[in-house]
Structure 1
């Protein structure tokens, strides 16, 4: 394992001996075929790679990884940009933007309800699991296209009055993506690329599979069986992003120091807490991030998983540390990547 200077990225600098040692320990603790821990301390980067599998033909730190639900942080930033540009409002009814009507069930669901998981919608549409069952361990979303997501939303009745309860919903964020695409008359891929990826210089980030020379290969829980590239169907806004580790650090560093960067106002917008929950209401949520207290100040983070890969993205403004952790193995019961990365970031300082 070595720290490597990647073309187009700031050269790595020595981090504290303690943090450097903990990064190496974290790589081995994850126990996956391919593991990358990419850390930035005040903009100085160090990457540690390893894994239980043979090294791929392309260096691990140059591959794109499926980040699953951590894609929602990109969707939140896109919403912020469109709100600040006056193209949509957080109070817009999603059904009106999608269909020009306000149905009895979902007519009161707004864009802010969707991005903050307070829409009252379930995690997945009714009937989703039945159609996904034949592909559950590989590509459960592939057979559920965009038009079906929209129709399921318009036909839904939220389980709770919008804005009253928090319930994590891939369905809700997928609907948000289709609403933003409809509001701007722009396909989702093009909208996110033009409004977020290109302004931030994320050339190593995309939304579709590109082949083994570009993308990491995922593995099932046994750490040996490869999984096919993840296909997200109509749930793109909830989990389609694939990114290189250094692109993810660029994304996180922009949140740590937005001044003078493209999207500065939007980056600040997605860091503002908008609701509290959990024991003592100590856990907060922003329009893009979970926000937990630590001994070193608040930690912003989001994790994600596909059928064969996992990701953790996080940053701590008070310490100037950002961390992207990635692996090519999906755990269904015991999740070492997320717990290891969460602990490392929260305790580093």
Structure 2
């Protein structure tokens, strides 16, 4: 007799067999991207997928010679290799877009990096030991404000839920107040503490200076000029992904066995200018290569963005020294169902990788870094 308990065990075993089989299948994104030409990257991608989601993929290249490798599937239970033009939630890669708009406003003389946030948003950053007259725009961009993060809905993070509107959306000022509800983690400028709250505040700053929501500023100042047709900053209440889309999953790993289930899409207003955007591997590499190529901000502002502190954090960018001796810049992103990372170098080499799962614990960050490092260094 097959009991409910036995059916659960059987489902887990079937899921494990499927997942283990997926790791043995590699797909080439283009005719020129032969797997034998990128053996080290393929091995790293398989290692990522073996410790991550139902599927994993990397889109990489240089000087217009791009290629894509995919293993596993973009939808559990189907044979759908992840493609470079499929949509997914890029999470904190959104921060790079937000920072770009802020630096554009710096170029226009409408914002100053070392001016207190109180100047632009009077009375917002206050209470519980926080003082907006001492926290500058630079502190927010570089995560040295001392303001704690909020991370509801992200597995493995502290769950602090801002109040929700009756329609299921969130007011960014309520989100900021949630982040300010605990005391400072450090004095402003003293140390690096990654915080989503910083970038929600920056989104409100963009709105205060431009008169338009941050998502509209990103759309008109970055997405449209670059022709990023696969990229969007969803409005509050829009929980859909444009097609084609990679299906996001949560995962349970029991030794060598895997069990996947679909991840619900959070309302974009919960993370807003800190993590709400949708894009593709193809588009995010275009964005970062364009940014580092000087197409979006002045050379002075780009130098500020790339001036990484001891933590490796610049202004909306993170620096990473690769195994081949070059430095690359970019950002990672995590949302329920997705984990991604994009890095580019000054000479135009780039790699964007993603997997369609977010684990409760043990996010496979080392394996993800190995994929993008190999893709850039192997060429």
Check 1:62–1:267 CA distance in 2 against 1; reply closer, same or farther (3 A cut): farther
Which moved further from structure 2: 106-115 or 86-95?
86-95
Q: 2: distance between equivalents of 1:186 and 1:115?
A: 20
Change (3 A) 1:158 1:125: farther
Quote the Cα distance in structure 2 between the aligned partners of 1:255 and 1:47: 22
The answer to whether the 8 Å contact 2:233/2:277 transfers is yes
Match of 2:211 among 171, 179, 185: 185
Which of these residues, 39, 47, 53, is aligned with residue 29 of structure 1? 47
Give the structure 2 partner of residue 8 of structure 1. none
Aligned to 2:368: 341
CA displacement, residues 37-81 of structure 1 (integer Å, 9 cap, x when unaligned): 100223310011232534477963332111111211111211111
- How many aligned positions are there? 323
Is 1:67 aligned to 2:95, yes or no?
A: no
Say whether residues 1:238 and 2:274 are aligned partners: yes
Corresponding residue number in structure 2 for 1:220: 250
Aligned residue number for residue 345 of structure 2: 316
Tell me whether 1:289 sits opposite 2:310 in the alignment.
no
Cα distance change of structure 1 residues 63 and 293 upon mapping to structure 2, 3 Å threshold:
closer
**What secondary structure sits across from 1:220 in the alignment?**
strand
Of the candidates 198, 208, 225, which is equivalent to residue 199 of structure 1? 225
In the alignment, the residues of structure 2 paired with residue 16 and residue 211 of structure 1 have an alpha-carbon distance, to the nearest angstrom, of 30
Change (3 A) 1:243 1:93: same
Give 5+ residue unaligned stretches, structure 2: 1-26, 153-157, 253-258
Q: Contact 1:306 / 1:330 at 8 angstroms: preserved in 2?
A: yes
Distance across 2 between alignment mates of 1:51 and 1:58 = 6
Q: Deviation string for 1:237-287 (max 9, x for gaps)?
A: 1101110121112113224533xx45464873454315224xxxxxx3211
Does 1:44 pair with 2:65? yes
Deviation at 1:204, TM superposition (A): 0.7
For 1:85, the equivalent position in structure 2 comes to 108
Mark the runs of 5 or more structure 1 residues left unpaired by the alignment.
5-11, 136-141, 278-283
State the alpha-carbon separation in 2 of the partners of residues 166 and 75 from structure 1: 19
| TM-score, normalisation: structure 1 | 0.80
Shift of 1:308: 1.1
Corresponding residue number in structure 1 for 2:309: 275
Distance 1:56 1:212, change over 3 A: farther
For residues 6-25 of structure 1, the aligned pairs below 5 Å read 20-25=38-43
* Cα distance change on mapping 1:37 and 1:14 into 2, 3 Å: closer
Deviation sequence 1:111-166 (CA, Å, 0-9, x none): 1110100001012299x835379x9xxxxxx6642131344567775342211111
Q: Cα offset for 1:332?
A: 3.1
Counterpart position of 1:325:
353
- Paired residue secondary structure (1:285): coil
Give RMSD over aligned pairs: 3.2
Question: What's the counterpart of residue 112 of structure 1?
Answer: 138
Q: 1:288 offset after TM fit, Å?
A: 1.7
Q: Is 2:45–2:56's contact at 8 Å kept on the other side of the alignment?
A: yes
2:10 corresponding residue in structure 1: none
Q: Spell out, residue by residue over 1:306-341, the C-alpha distance to the aligned partner (whole angstroms, 9 max, x if none).
A: 1111111112335x42110111111233333x3233
- Counterparts of 1:59 and 1:102 in 2: how far apart (Å)? 42
Verify the 8 A CA contact 2:28 2:34 in the aligned structure 1. Answer: no
Quick check: 2:292–2:302 contact (8 Å CA) kept in 1? no
Change (3 A) 1:270 1:44: farther
CA contact (8 A) 2:48 2:371 kept: no
